[in-house]
A and B are shown apart, each in its own frame.
Chain A
Amino acid sequence: MNTQQQSGQEMAVGQVEMTLRQEGRARMAGNTLAFLRNHAPFNKMQPDALQRFAEKAQIAFYPAGSQIIGPDSGDVRFFYLIESGKVQARQAGEVTVTEYSILSLGAGESFPIGAVTAGRPSTNVYTAVEDTFCYQLPAEDFLALMSSSPEFNLFCTKYIASLLDQSRRQLQLQFAQRASEQQTLNSPLAGIGSRSPVTVSPDTPLRAALETMSQAGVGSLVIAGEDRKAVGVFTRTDLLDRVVLADLPLTTPIAQAMSQNPFMIEEHATAYDAMFAMATHGIRHVLVTDAEGKLTGVVSERDLFSLQRVGLRQIRQAIDGAHNVEVLQHAAADVRQLSFNMLAQGVGAEQLTQFISALNDALTRRVIQLNLEKHNFDGIEWAWLAFGSEGRDEQTFSTDQDNGIVFLPPEGASEEALKQRFLAYALDVNKDLDRCGFPLCKGNIMASNPQWCLTLEQWKDQFANWIRVPHPDALLNATIFFDFRALFGKAELAEAMRRHLLAQTAANPMFLRAMAKNALDVEPPLGKIRDFLTDLEPDHPGKIDLKKYGSRIFVDVARIYAMASGVHNTNSIQRLRLASQRLSIRSEEINAVLEGLNFIQLLRLQHQYLEGEPGTQGDNLIDPDTLNELDRRILKESFRQARKIQTRLKLDYQVQ
């Protein structure tokens, strides 16, 4: 007698029914497992987590054309995994329907991860475009799986991170439209390259043609008839292959040596089209014609390359060669314009803020240098320090000055007299920087303030005081002054300050704890019922301060972990990356955090550029209702990341 029979006799019918139901569920799960095993991330999940999914997943059919879920369906009850068929995701609401906002999902893909994680209605409309079967996992089982399976959790986290990436591309699209009047690869060829190409007629003897090239100093000739229709191109490469090596007498008409049927493109085509043609046909020149096919210009590969680098070199040259503040003022405006172009061409927030910082650095250095002509500090070791966002390489379009001076008085010299000279000098620099578009600091954190023009020893004492007695002012100062770097002069002085700072923090654990407590004072504006809290700033109802409640949270946490782990960098992203390695925080976790920070920074840049009045200082106040659905979602996720690292900080420093 086997076990089933034995148990069958011991159990009443009701119990037998339960057993046979379990058997049924196990069989159905086995069937579902066969599908799951062939699809990521399920194929990487632990067997027990996978079994759990399989035992709870229902199978549902959605005929082509039917809506599966949408914003009106209420809170999402299921996590859907497509078994077969095709589902289209479309953004709902008043969103410009761009190509990316429609996503097509096929077998093995799942949705709506964000909504089911958050337990809210889906922001997208999901429609079956073919007859579709889905496995649907009830929301509570999905959440249980998220918390029990690290593989599944990672998959969902990564998915949300990929949304961040999508939104960045969407922003770029927006900027690209704005930048269309700028010279980019979207510009029409009519405005690019040589407008009056050197041309000769087909019967011109080679010698005469070569003389023309030589005199005009060009590497190529266009051969055109009297009707200005091009029939060929002759380049220096042709000279070698078809004239010299072919032993062609120089009296031969050029028509016999030219490349025939040159590649022509209409002047309304874009630079991108020309670049594409060059890459496709392996050519270096494209002839530009009008609608009738008459030659109007030549675009070379080099013209297109310089287009991509438009301004960068020029601005650097203008800055480095500037002899007065007026030139620098123009350069500052160019920096702003160029940063915007780069934003349009798809440069991310991290690179962009660093890029703005780099050009601003060059500009500031030049102002510092120009003023040294009137003030002489030969033989004195000193350095110009940048603090705050400038110190962190995280400048946005509107950043005011935060700077200071560190100096080393030579032996025997009067420290006070030297300080007065530095203060006078700093005042000139501060004023010039203001004229170049870096407003004076409202908190007077400037080198011209005697408080922040100090000797190396005074800086060390100042740092040590703040660290030993972390009262509120000291903590506030720490958040500004501890993000310093040398912009000009003896960088070793700044390094000495840094070593001192890190040694002091290591010796005073209470300080970091106080910093942590301070950093936790402000929480991300996530609502319990609504998505966002928009009433935190009494003067600006309905808006969120993206700096105060967004990026600053990341920056503050980054600073603490950097100091705790002895990281010398000041940039928040570098700080978090390096500190996470030293503190063995999982890289997936930190990447999600960095994506969040980058997204908030990008929104700030976008807001400051698109909504700021030209010439005025942009703010960081955004109204979440004006964001499109996807951006809102990602912003929410970014704030969640902020909350996540705050929670981590809270645990690490045991802040109540």
Chain B
Amino acid sequence: MLGLKKFLFRGGAPSHLPDDVRASLEGWRASAAPALDDLHFHTRYIVVDIVSSGLQPDSDQLLSIAASSVWQGAIQPDDTFYIDFSTLDGEGAAVDRQLAAFLLFAAKAPLVTYHVPYVGGFLQRAFKERLGVDFQPQWVDLAWLLPSMFEEKGHTVMPLDHWIDVFGLDSGSGRRDAMANTLLIGRIFQMLLVRAVGKQIDTAKHLVDESRASSFLRRNH
């Protein structure tokens, strides 16, 4: 079933989408992305994390998305977002609407996560298959940025839990849900912003560039 959809809708917006979803997608496409040359304090970053049934974006299932903005020096409870796909059967307009709602929520803000190939991979596939959207946000990938910004604490790509330990954050007991993870990443991201400013990386554009450079350099050298 999934394969068939993939085949059918690769080209563009799927024709079966309800009108309101189409309308909001058009609105989203037409909307201008926020300027990235403002200081971090004034930039609305969206920290995002997901839960999936496995590690393969191509074959495993996306189960939930948790996101929260970091803006004006704080994680803002009034600007958070959570989708739980596990209560749906993976079909229907409800999923399309929820994915479209995420686009409206994120509003083309730079996205912060831990390990873009994983998180971004699942998001890309979902948006492509369900909404026909080629999802290419401005990513800030902490997995690559942290070792280059906090060299004294770890100089190689490590699991998130390692960084949580290194920074002495309370990771709680037992399994964390996507939101708990997002909030931990959000805290680490706030620490990283302070470090970035110290290295004269003081705008979102700089930070996104730095993230790209760090992942490129480390992958290739």
A16-56 contacts to B (CB < 8 Å): 16-17, 20-21, 23-32, 34-35, 54-56
Q: Inside 8 A of B3's CB, which chain A residues have their CB?
A: none
Q: Inside 8 A of B177's CB, which chain A residues have their CB?
A: 27
Stretch among B113-121, B132-140, B156-164, B168-176 lining the A interface: B168-176
Query: Among B76, B84, B97, B180, which residue has its beta carbon within 8 angstroms of that of A16?
Result: B97
Q: Closest CB-CB distance, A56 to chain B, in whole Å?
A: 6
Query: Among A4, A12, A84, A131, which residue has its beta carbon within 8 angstroms of that of B88?
Result: A4
Inter-chain contact A20/B24, CB cutoff 8 Å: no
Q: Closest CB-CB distance, B30 to chain A, in whole Å?
A: 15
Inter-chain contact B104/A13, CB cutoff 8 Å: yes
Q: Inside 8 A of A389's CB, which chain B residues have their CB?
A: none
Interchain CA distance A58-B72 in the complex, whole Å: 10
A58 and B194 contact, Cβ closer than 8 Å, known pairs A4-B88, A5-B92, A9-B92 = no
Interchain CA distance A580-B20 in the complex, whole Å: 64
Inter-chain contact B24/A9, CB cutoff 8 Å: no
Q: Inside 8 A of A133's CB, which chain B residues have their CB?
A: 187
- Chain A residue nearest to B186 (CB atoms) is A59
Interchain CA distance A17-B102 in the complex, whole Å: 7
Q: Inside 8 A of B68's CB, which chain A residues have their CB?
A: 24, 28
B84-104 contacts to A (CB < 8 Å): 84, 87-88, 92-94, 97-98, 100-102, 104
Inter-chain contact A20/B194, CB cutoff 8 Å: no
Inter-chain contact A58/B24, CB cutoff 8 Å: no
Does A2 belong to the interface (CB within 8 Å)?
yes
Q: Which of A20, A26, A54, A84 has the most CB of B within 10 A?
A: A20
A61 and B187 contact, Cβ closer than 8 Å, known pairs A4-B94, A20-B102, A27-B179 = yes
Interchain CA distance A352-B7 in the complex, whole Å: 90
Inter-chain contact A8/B98, CB cutoff 8 Å: yes
A13 and B94 contact, Cβ closer than 8 Å, known pairs A24-B80, A60-B190 = no
Q: Closest CB-CB distance, A440 to chain B, in whole Å?
A: 66
Query: Among A13, A20, A31, A58, which residue has its beta carbon within 8 angstroms of that of B83?
Result: A20
Q: Closest CB-CB distance, A634 to chain B, in whole Å?
A: 31
Interchain CA distance A56-B79 in the complex, whole Å: 11
B58-85 contacts to A (CB < 8 Å): 66-68, 73-84
Inter-chain contact A14/B24, CB cutoff 8 Å: yes
Inter-chain contact B88/A27, CB cutoff 8 Å: no
Does A655 belong to the interface (CB within 8 Å)?
no
Inter-chain contact B82/A23, CB cutoff 8 Å: yes
Does B127 belong to the interface (CB within 8 Å)?
no
Does A63 belong to the interface (CB within 8 Å)?
yes
Q: Inside 8 A of A28's CB, which chain B residues have their CB?
A: 68, 75, 77, 80, 179, 183
Does A57 belong to the interface (CB within 8 Å)?
yes
Q: Inside 8 A of B33's CB, which chain A residues have their CB?
A: none
Does A606 belong to the interface (CB within 8 Å)?
no
Interchain CA distance A215-B25 in the complex, whole Å: 110
Does B55 belong to the interface (CB within 8 Å)?
no
Does A396 belong to the interface (CB within 8 Å)?
no
Interchain CA distance A31-B102 in the complex, whole Å: 21
- Beta-carbon contacts of A307-322 to B below 8 Å, as 1s and 0s? 0000000000000000
Q: Inside 8 A of A627's CB, which chain B residues have their CB?
A: none
Interchain CA distance A293-B169 in the complex, whole Å: 57
Inter-chain contact B74/A58, CB cutoff 8 Å: yes
Inter-chain contact A58/B77, CB cutoff 8 Å: yes
Inter-chain contact A13/B97, CB cutoff 8 Å: yes
Q: Closest CB-CB distance, B111 to chain A, in whole Å?
A: 15
Q: Inside 8 A of B24's CB, which chain A residues have their CB?
A: 12-14
Q: Inside 8 A of A58's CB, which chain B residues have their CB?
A: 74-77
Does B21 belong to the interface (CB within 8 Å)?
yes
Query: Among B21, B74, B82, which residue has its beta carbon within 8 angstroms of that of A20?
Result: B82
- Beta-carbon contacts of B2-28 to A below 8 Å, as 1s and 0s? 000000000000000000110110000
Q: Inside 8 A of B180's CB, which chain A residues have their CB?
A: 31
Interchain CA distance A596-B191 in the complex, whole Å: 43
Inter-chain contact B179/A61, CB cutoff 8 Å: no
- Chain B residue nearest to A26 (CB atoms) is B82
Q: Closest CB-CB distance, A97 to chain B, in whole Å?
A: 28
- Chain A residue nearest to B70 (CB atoms) is A59
Query: Among A13, A54, A55, A61, which residue has its beta carbon within 8 angstroms of that of B101?
Result: A13
Interchain CA distance A582-B134 in the complex, whole Å: 75
Does A601 belong to the interface (CB within 8 Å)?
no
A13 and B82 contact, Cβ closer than 8 Å, known pairs A8-B97, A20-B101 = no
Inter-chain contact A17/B20, CB cutoff 8 Å: no
Query: Among A21, A63, A136, which residue has its beta carbon within 8 angstroms of that of B80?
Result: A21
Query: Among A13, A24, A25, A84, which residue has its beta carbon within 8 angstroms of that of B168?
Result: A84
Q: Closest CB-CB distance, B200 to chain A, in whole Å?
A: 16
A2 and B183 contact, Cβ closer than 8 Å, known pairs A14-B24, A20-B98, A63-B194 = no
The contact sample of 14 A-B pairs, CB cut-off 8 A, is: A4-B88, A5-B92, A8-B97, A11-B97, A13-B97, A14-B24, A14-B104, A16-B100, A23-B81, A56-B78, A58-B74, A58-B76, A60-B73, A61-B190
- Apart from A12-B20, A13-B101, A20-B102, what 11 extra A-B contacts exist at CB < 8 Å? A8-B92, A8-B98, A12-B97, A13-B97, A13-B104, A14-B104, A16-B97, A24-B80, A27-B179, A28-B75, A31-B179
